[in-house]
Structure 1
Amino acid sequence: MSCRMATSAISCSTNKSHSPGDTPMFRLALLFLMAACSQVWAQARIPADLKIEESVDAKGKAKVLFIAGTTVFKPGEHDYIGGCRELMKSVAEGGKAAPVLALEWPTKAETWNDVASVVFFFDGAEKHQAVAKGRAAQIDALVKKGAGLVQLHQTADYPEAFTEKAVSWSGGAWKKGIGKRAHWVETFKDFPQHPVFTGVGAFTIDDGWLWNIKFVDGMKGVTPLLRTVDPKKKDDPKADAAIIAWAYERPAGGRSVTFTGGHLHKSLEDPNYRRFLTNAILWSAEKVTANAAASR
């Protein structure tokens, strides 16, 4: 057995001429090594030119902190770093925001200074970065100061012990036991009156949706943004269109937007989809205007 380190992963191969034999101990060692290799394969390649926790001049702009996970599901899927890089370009284009990127979680205390909004794009559930190592207290303090929060894809899924806290931050959370998830293509063309849809036209995306969300009591402060119907129930007149994106204005101040899609990186090539996400981030930072959204 040999493992060869590549730029972003380890590849494994077997060589029978050097094998100690097909013994239980050898097979066990082989399984452990293969597991280790697969874990490395799950790590995203960190671009050499990636600027991490860079100090920015946010004078007159909203400082937006993007927190990206460093794993990938498959090439082009759950590409947290790539997705954050693209959205950072878009929010910066209008001159309203100064984006900063952190991987997994900020390591510098000053990264949190003067943050107007935080964007989560990483794994959810038990791997959720915001609830690890007491980090929830950091986010709780930030939102209580009125900072914005944007949750993309799996970050709407919190461990059950944090569900109520997550609901207080963003107006809703995916909860195991009642929440549902599946993958299908949807076209969005009818939008409610809301600033996040400034300049947004119809778009079609293939995505993995999380729905059947636990919302704040009475949906108070929640504005549904995007809805979709499970294709298996398209012909059912009683089927409800599930909310898969929503905005939330907290009672004490501060805005949040959650979009439970975001599975495929290529979706960002659609200018209307990209504009919707850009607007959502800027709105959460209270900087969206008719001319603020990226035009690309």
Structure 2
Amino acid sequence: MPTSSRSLLIALGCVAAATFAFMTQSPAEPAKAEAAAKKKIVFVAGKPSHAAGEHEHRAGCMLLAEDLNQSGLPVEAVVVTNGWPQDESVFDGAAAVVFYADGGEGHPAIKHLPKLREIAGTGAGIGCIHYAVEITKGEPGNAFLDLIGGYFEGGWSVNPHWDASFKPAKHEISRGIGDFKIRDEWYYHMRFREKMEGVTPILSDLPGPETLSRPDGFHSGNPEVRKAVLERKEPQHVMWAFEREASAGKGRAFGFTGGHFHKNWQHDDHRGIVLNAIAWIAKVEVPEKGVPSKTPTDEEMKANLDKK
């Protein structure tokens, strides 16, 4: 048989085999492949806290998760409520873990730091929203310096309510986000890594002197923050991105100190920059106009609120 004829038969045979394989493929297989291609994002929502409309961890996480799942991006977001999950298998294969919960001694991760380091060691991203950026000084604080680049340190950082004006830094997280001003409990004077190694400020502003009108205290003020803000006039970073070293999993992370008021998730830039950050730490390309999401209606904002 001529070489050209053999080549033609081989080619026809390959086409037939491919056609047969396609026709006999289980309908469930494409769905499995599509699911496997999606990046898994796990939200850890803290227990009920504060007054109604404040620290709405469950409702906030579910709102953000729904936005991500409806965005058209290759992600699958799931929400765990009431703190650290009893079944840790929910973290299996996670591309990112986001904490929105009370912090300090009650932080969901404080008793599970080895597991959190293990998760980060896979390259998974770690995100912390509002109070979840606070953890106790010492080993927990050192872990956060390694994993998210900074944290709220009692006696160093402060937690006033104030109107902050932002011009977001140029970064993938800031795509589609304009300048904006909003009132929140913007924590500042974070304890960051030495020389800001690996840390990129995203949202910064110089707080007014009224933010330090309270007496010195564990959360309210201290000599160092007064020098930084009142004397040296240093802008304070209330959102940052972090790229971890290879020894810590070479993943990404962010800290966002806003999120005290549930109503602020209706602000498109406030909500949008957090959605962008979550996509970024999951290593999903952030669209040029940002992660798409619709402004939640008043009715949608009432969904999943904690009974307080």
Q: Please give the range of the TM-score, normalised by the shorter of the 2 chains.
A: 0.7 to 0.9
> 1:157-236 to 2 correspondence within 5 Å?
157-161=134-138, 162-188=140-166, 190-232=167-209
Question: What per-residue deviation string (whole Å, max 9, x for no partner) do you get for residues 186-232 of structure 1?
Answer: 222x2221001111123222111221111112211110011122222
User: CA, structure 1 residues 60+202, in 2 after alignment: closer, same or farther (shift >3 Å)?
Assistant: same
Q: What amino acid maps onto 1:294 in structure 2? A: P
User: CA, structure 1 residues 76+233, in 2 after alignment: closer, same or farther (shift >3 Å)?
Assistant: closer
Matched residue SS, 1:105: coil
Residue of structure 1 equivalent to 2:305: none
Question: What per-residue deviation string (whole Å, max 9, x for no partner) do you get for residues 111-152 of structure 1?
Answer: 1110000000000101111012xx111101011111100100
- Bigger relative contact order (CA 8 A; separation at least 6): 2
TM-score by structure 2 length? 0.73
1:295 to 272, 289, 293: 293
TM-score by structure 1 length? 0.76
Whole-angstrom distance in 2 between the partners of 1:166 and 1:193 = 24
- The answer on whether the counterparts of 1:149 and 1:257 sit within 8 Å (CA) in structure 2 is yes
Residue of structure 1 equivalent to 2:253: 256
User: CA, structure 1 residues 139+204, in 2 after alignment: closer, same or farther (shift >3 Å)?
Assistant: same
Superposition deviation, residue 233 in structure 1: 6.8
Q: What amino acid maps onto 1:210 in structure 2? A: Y
Whole-angstrom distance in 2 between the partners of 1:58 and 1:74 = 38
Residue of structure 2 equivalent to 1:115: 94
1:271 aligns with 2:249: no
Matched residue SS, 2:287: coil
Q: What amino acid maps onto 2:179 in structure 1? A: A
1:76 to 53, 59, 64: 53
- The answer on whether the counterparts of 2:168 and 2:204 sit within 8 Å (CA) in structure 1 is no
- The answer on whether the counterparts of 2:151 and 2:190 sit within 8 Å (CA) in structure 1 is yes
- The answer on whether the counterparts of 1:279 and 1:288 sit within 8 Å (CA) in structure 2 is no
Whole-angstrom distance in 1 between the partners of 2:261 and 2:86 = 28
Structure with larger Rg: 2
Whole-angstrom distance in 2 between the partners of 1:248 and 1:145 = 16
More helix by share: 2
Question: What per-residue deviation string (whole Å, max 9, x for no partner) do you get for residues 141-191 of structure 1?
Answer: 011111100100111111113111111000111111211221111222x22
What are structure 2's unaligned runs of at least 5 residues? 1-33, 212-228, 295-308
Q: What amino acid maps onto 1:278 in structure 2? A: L
More strand by share: 1
Q: What amino acid maps onto 1:227 in structure 2? A: S
Residue of structure 2 equivalent to 1:23: none
| 101-110 or 265-274: bigger deviation | 101-110
| 167-176 or 100-109: bigger deviation | 100-109
Matched residue SS, 2:37: coil
> 1:144-159 to 2 correspondence within 5 Å?
144-159=121-136
Whole-angstrom distance in 1 between the partners of 2:172 and 2:274 = 11
Identity of aligned residues (%): 29
- The answer on whether the counterparts of 1:149 and 1:255 sit within 8 Å (CA) in structure 2 is yes
